[in-house]
Amino acid sequence: MGASITLAGESLIAQKHAAQLGLDVTRFIFANVPGLDPSGPVDRAAPKPAVAQIVHVYDIPKENAGYVNPNQVVYSSQIGSDVGDWDFNWIGLETAEGVLFAVAYVPLQIKRRNIPPLQIGNNLTRNFLVAFDGAQALTGITIDASTWQHDFTVRLAGIDERERLSNRDVFGRACFFGASLQLVKVGSAYQLQPGSAYVEGIRLVRSAALAVVPPAFPTTAWLDVALQRELSDVVASWNVVFATDRPDYTDSAGVRHYCVALADLPNAGTITDRRSVELIDGPLVKHFAARTGDYEYLRARATTKEDVDLGNLPNAKSDDPSTNSSEILATTAALNRLQQQVGESLTGMVASFAMSTAPTGWLKCNGAVVSRTTFASLFARIGTVFGAGDGTSTFGLPDLRGLFPRGLDDGRGIDVGRVLGAYQEMMHQSHTHTASAGADGNHVHSAWTDVQGAHTHATAGAPGIGQGAPGANSVQQSSGAHETAWAGAHSHNIGMNGSGNHSHAITVNAAGAAETRPKNIALLFCIKY
């Protein structure tokens, strides 16, 4: 799609500027031009289409004109669904004088009127933005387009501002990479060299040299930078101005401008560069990253102990770990030797570990046969105490699997006769047990008494009275009572026969398991090599 101000429009702009008169764009013209190529350039010299090709004319209300920035204004047409039916591929802006001011070519568009229930109409909104120097002032438009065009201007402006502030945090007020935008004199002319720079977080890029003309001397060249709307985008806008001083300012459209000095020109032959320069000629990540080699401008090359308050540290150094002086610094060689000495003192040490594998520098105490060369230090300490291996190139390690270590008697007299590394079977200390006897079952004994001689007892009787039938004057006969007198005490001897010999079973209960041991925990024994 092509769009452009016509030659007649350019001429009218010049006339209005010269006469200091306002430019009044009053209407949209929609036309359907046969054979029009929407992708081709606009014929700026062409007149309005023929009357038969014009399908609609829209008068622009005053409130439908707004400014984007001081050099851009936009006109909007809003056609409701009560208008139609027609097609168009040509849009023009016409001034109050009837001058065709601007033209746009578009692919064929349709506009339909709403005719329920036969046809659903459509609304048509078309905006036409024109850009030329002083557009806002010449047209007299005072309405900001953002107040009547619903877009994401505020949201995008916030994004732009956050990006600008983030860049400013990195690059500061101004940062020029190398010779970027440097003002130089070539022959008798002045120009800004190409390159990249950041001013108040706004990125500037110039791909070719820019010619500039100082109006007089002495003067100062300033870079005037702003983020400014252009068509539907916001871009970095900048230009070179000459003035004694140029503070930051906000223009009539509310756009903030940032001004930084490029160079002082006291006369035609002298240029004093005032840019804030960083010698960066590639990606920042490569510039910041550490590299091998030396850097001429590296701050650390000139750093002294005094710079970091370490001036009281000594300069002398030593590789000897036995040196005991606060005026001498130990080197890494000294530390390595000290570490070696500590490690060597532990060679042959047996220790237990709560792990299933031997740690670095240790071997399992599992009776393995190992190399006398590989483990020369250990062989020098324990020799063949735990096995001679093959007798020439290997030696045995202690085997502590399932065993408790015991301190060497070394003449104390508790474990007499033991030598280093000797194995000892388990043994019980002498002790006693209690025993109990069980019952042997029931049995009987026979018994007898002897005869002790005869004896008698005296008896006294009482006679009965009368006999006869019962009557008034008769007495009935009754039985009499008898008494026996004591004949003196006597005794009998009792004898009991034996029941024969018998025995009782004695039981001593067994105690313990397959071995004698205290409560314990299983750990891995290893030896230091």
- Domains defined for the chain, CATH in brackets: 3-150 (no CATH), 154-278 (no CATH), 293-333 (no CATH), 346-411+520-529 (3.90.1340)
- Tens of pLDDT, residue by residue over 67-92, are 999 999 999 999 998 898 999 999 99
Cis check: omega of the bond before 85, within 30 degrees of 0:
yes
Angstrom distance (rounded) from CA 340 to CA 342: 5
- Taking 70 as the threshold, does the pLDDT of residue 114 lie above it? yes
Q: What one-letter code names the amino acid at 401? A: R
- Tens of pLDDT, residue by residue over 394-426, are 999 999 999 989 999 999 999 998 999 999 888
Task: Provide the 10 A C-beta neighbour count for residue 38.
Answer: 14
Is 26 within 8 Å of 94 (Cβ atoms)?
Answer: yes
The residues pairing with 362 across neighbouring beta strands, listed in sequence order, are 528
Return the minimum-mean-pLDDT range out of 46-55, 114-123, 294-303: 294-303
For 284, the 3-state DSSP assignment is helix
- Mean pLDDT for 168-195 is 96
Model pTM score: 0.37
Rg (CA), the chain: 63
The predicted structure's pLDDT at residue 191: 97
Cis check: omega of the bond before 218, within 30 degrees of 0:
yes
Q: Which residue has the tokens 């500037």?
A: 204
CA dihedral 16→22→28→29, nearest 10 degrees, is: -30
- Taking 90 as the threshold, does the pLDDT of residue 223 lie above it? yes
The predicted structure's pLDDT at residue 369: 97
Is 395 within 8 Å of 385 (Cβ atoms)?
Answer: no
Is 14 within 8 Å of 21 (Cβ atoms)?
Answer: no
For 93, the 3-state DSSP assignment is strand
Per-residue confidence band for 459, with pLDDT thresholds at 50, 70 and 90: low
The predicted structure's pLDDT at residue 500: 63
- DSSP H or E segment with residue 131: strand 124-131
The HSE-up count of residue 378 (CA atoms within 13 Å, CB side) is 25
- Tens of pLDDT, residue by residue over 289-325, are 766 666 666 666 666 767 666 666 666 777 777 777 7
Per-residue confidence band for 488, with pLDDT thresholds at 50, 70 and 90: low
Residue 370: what are its φ and ψ, rounded to 5°?
Answer: -125, 170
Provide the 8-state DSSP code for 324. -
